[in-house]
């Protein structure tokens, strides 16, 4: 399930990046649309970071003095 979620988030991140570039290429690009897309892309990036961090096992070593 987590791998599927990461895959979906990566695809969404790429799609938002594509939409940002597409809007920026327009002669009269809408700055508010670009700002919203960038905000959504950053949210997806944060979700992706958290999802990927959950895949990394955490090892705690206790030293015996």
Angle at 48 between CA 42 and CA 52, to 5 degrees: 150
pLDDT score for 36: 98
Cβ neighbours for 52, distance < 8 A, ≥ 6 positions apart: 6
pLDDT at 58 over 80: no
Instruction: Look up the pTM and report it.
Output: 0.78
pLDDT score for 41: 98
């Amino acid at each position: 399930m987590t791998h599927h979620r990461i895959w979906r988030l990566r695809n969404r991140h790429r799609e938002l990046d594509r939409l940002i570039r597409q809007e920026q290429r327009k002669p009269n690009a809408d700055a508010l649309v670009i700002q919203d897309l960038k905000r959504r892309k950053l949210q997806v990036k944060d979700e992706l970071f958290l999802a990927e961090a959950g895949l990394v096992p955490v090892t705690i070593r206790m030293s015996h003095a």
